[in-house]
Amino acid sequence: MSERKKVFIKTYGCQMNVYDTARMKDVLAPLGYAAVETPAGADLVVLNTCHIREKAAEKVYSDLGRLRPLAAEKAEAGGRMLVAVAGCVAQAEGEAMKKRAPIVDIVLGPQTYHRLPEMVARALRDEGAVFDTEFPVEPKFDFLPPPGAEGPSAFLAIQEGCDRFCTYCVVPYTRGAEYARPAADVLAEAKRLVATGARELTLLGQNVNAWAADGWSFGRLLRELAEIDGLARLRYTTSHPLAVDDELIAAHRDVAKLVPFLHLPIQSGSDRVLKAMNRGHTAADYLRTVERLRAARPDLAMSSDFIVGFPGETDAEFAETLAVIREVGFIQAFSFKYSARPGTPAALMPNRVPQEVAEARLAAVQAALGELQAAFNAGCVGRVLPVLFDRPGRHPGQLIGRSPTMQAVHAEAPADAMGTVRPVRIVGVGPNSLAGELLSGDEREAAE
């Protein structure tokens, strides 16, 4: 092992990037790189970027600008700060990044980060800027070291890429074609994560419920994972409505460890807009899927993604989105103003919605979603929820955990409650969290 060096990795975008950042730390550790929390003084800075909307992509360049004085300081002290750009902006822009930001030494895509050590070595040998944004034939997963302890709640990437080509979206271009990891690899990684302390697994994929491998459906995979002793909860994200099949619905009925919470993007409530988006489903199809899921799991809470101001979206079409939001009663959602992305079909569509109209629609969607969320949270007061404690609280003696429906719950709890699921009575609602009290031993017995 070489001398200790410092790597700072900044993560933008989705949970897949969070997972990838952890894996990059794993591949760099054997080279002597220890992860640090700030870029100042780092020997290697990696920006793990997101291309989904213009704002996210542009942020990378301002962050690169901010690295310049830090790299100069490092050089003055006789060292060298290597700068690598990874992730989806790197994949989309490739070598062009170097022209706009000469500080960049390495550009690598989401499918090549298992080769990062080799790229770092080449950059240090001063072979000029190193670019590697291919989609290699060998899946990177075969070359990654097994993940270390990830804490009580761990991510597990089981699927990557997307073949759906929604007309607004860059993901099929930045992440490539759909790839499903073999079932045995997924099971082995899940068991390792649980053996090192994970109580909850969140299965990740851009189109996670399209996973199918070795003759197994996604529903079958969920059943098999639920058999792992010591695992308390299973989640998955992000799923596509068209890939919700009978086996998955049956898994929601039968698999108790599968949380009663599902993030299922709809994007719009207008069939005309959904068609222009190439979503492949109507609003009624989506509602029917939710109905079938709720018939299987009556307490299923729903979350979603929305895009407002898609090209040509009229007031009446937007009103249909608001109607769907009320009809489903989402307890949480992400909503975005449409952002035209280079290379996507929607970027060429006429009838752009003016910014101020899109902004007003975004505010209306967020107000509707906020109301539903507040009502759901208020309805939790007085109930006893199983909470997985996974973080220290704001003061000693307090822990923060998550309910099955992803609400943050604060409670006074002993340190040994960390990493365990405990029954908690909800006693109050804050703007972004719930306040709870651990049940006493007697109460627990009575509840069981």
Binding site for ligand SAH (CB under 6 A): 52-53, 162, 168-169, 171, 206-207, 238, 240, 265, 267, 305, 307, 336, 338-339, 341
336 binds, among ligand SAH, ligand F3S, ligand SF4, none (CB under 5 to 8 A by kind): ligand SAH
Q: Write out the binding residues for ligand F3S, residues 386-445 only, by CB under 6 A.
A: none
Among residues 21, 70, 87, 107, the one that binds ligand F3S under rule CB under 6 A: 87
Stretch that binds ligand SF4, among 16-24, 157-165, 321-329, 344-352 (CB under 6 A): 157-165
CA distance 18 to 27: 15
Among residues 52, 198, 259, 409, the one that binds ligand F3S under rule CB under 6 A: 52
3-state secondary structure of 163: coil
Q: Write out the binding residues for ligand SF4, residues 229-258 only, by CB under 6 A.
A: 240
Q: Terminal CA-to-CA distance of the chain, rounded, Å?
A: 52
Q: Which of 195, 156, 184, 113 is nearest to 19 (CA)?
A: 156
Helix (H) or strand (E) holding 19: helix 15-28
Distance in Å, CB of 206 to ligand F3S, minimum: 6
Among residues 46, 85, 171, 232, the one that binds ligand SF4 under rule CB under 6 A: 171
172 binds, among ligand F3S, ligand SAH, ligand SF4, none (CB under 5 to 8 A by kind): ligand SF4
Among residues 133, 174, 238, 407, the one that binds ligand F3S under rule CB under 6 A: 174
Specify the residue, 152 or 176, whose C-beta has the smaller distance to ligand SF4.
176
Q: Are 268 and 310 in contact (CB under 8 A)?
A: yes
Stretch that binds ligand SF4, among 74-82, 163-171, 254-262, 435-443 (CB under 6 A): 163-171
Neighbours of 440 (CB within 10 A): 10
3 state SS for 202-230: EEECCCHHHCCECCECHHHHHHHHHCCCC
Q: Which of 359, 301, 361 is nearest to 333 (CA)?
A: 301
Among residues 50, 162, 301, 388, the one that binds ligand SF4 under rule CB under 6 A: 162
DSSP letter at 268 equals -
Stretch that binds ligand F3S, among 47-55, 63-71, 282-290, 397-405 (CB under 6 A): 47-55
Distance in Å, CB of 88 to ligand F3S, minimum: 3
Distance in Å, CB of 91 to ligand SAH, minimum: 14
Burial class (CB within 10 angstroms; exposed 0-12, middle 13-18, buried 19+) of 66: exposed
- State how far the alpha carbon of 31 is from the alpha carbons of 7, 35, 272, in Å: 11, 12, 53
CA distance 250 to 218: 11
Is 207 a binding residue for ligand F3S by CB under 6 A? The answer is no
3-state secondary structure of 349: coil
**Sequence-ordered alpha helix ranges (H) in 94-159:** 96-100, 116-124
3-state secondary structure of 438: strand
Is 50 a binding residue for ligand F3S by CB under 6 A? The answer is yes
Using CB under 6 A, list all residues that contact ligand F3S: 13-14, 16-17, 50-52, 87-88, 170-171, 174-175, 206
Using CB under 6 A, list all residues that contact ligand SF4: 162, 164-166, 169, 171-172, 206-207, 240
